[in-house]
Amino acid sequence: MKSMIGEKQLAKMDIAGIGLSVACAAHCLLAPVLLSAIPLAGIEFIGHEAVESGMIAAVAVLAGFTFINGYRIHQRVGHFVFGMMGLAIFLFVRPAVSESLEPFATLFGGTAFVVGHFLNWKWSRGKTCQRT
């Protein structure tokens, strides 16, 4: 299979995916702690559920695109396992656990996405990338 993007672009997208996953996890972990300071800073929108849902959607879409293109280069599936695990945690585990366990679920979900992007980046490095 041929990748739709080049190796350098894929590497940049994996790095962006790692950053976005970390930002999402940081947002989810810090928002409850900073809830009292958010109105003072004038950034109330950060605490809204829509922002959280948007971040999870952005993480999932970016991961899906980079993971598929990475697979076309390196033909390995391990990164998909971590991506699906992270998505399952964000969509099913986090909403089901108590508020005291939600930060742990967030940490595990974000970490799963980061590991998936790291594996994709590592396995794609140095592989010849053919364009269609």
Task: Place 89 in a pLDDT band, splitting at 50, 70 and 90.
Answer: very high
Determine, yes or no, domain membership for 1.
no
Determine, yes or no, domain membership for 58.
yes
Q: Considering its fold, how many domains does the chain have in total?
A: 1
Whether residue 73 has pLDDT greater than 90 = no
Whether residue 130 has pLDDT greater than 50 = no
**Whole-angstrom Cα distance, residue 54 to residue 24?**
10
| More confident: 39 or 90 | 90
Determine, yes or no, domain membership for 131.
no
Whether residue 60 has pLDDT greater than 70 = yes
Q: What percent of the chain has pLDDT over 70?
A: 73
Which tokens belong to 7?
């190796």
Q: Provide the whole-model pTM.
A: 0.72
- Give residue 131's pLDDT: 43
Summary mean pLDDT of the chain: 79
User: CB of 18 within 8 A of CB of 119?
Assistant: no
Determine, yes or no, domain membership for 25.
yes
Structural domain for 35, as ranges: 7-124
Determine, yes or no, domain membership for 130.
no
Determine, yes or no, domain membership for 2.
no
Cβ contacts of residue 5 below 8 Å, gap of 6+?
13, 69, 129
- Give residue 88's pLDDT: 94
| More confident: 119 or 41 | 119
Determine, yes or no, domain membership for 17.
yes
Determine, yes or no, domain membership for 120.
yes
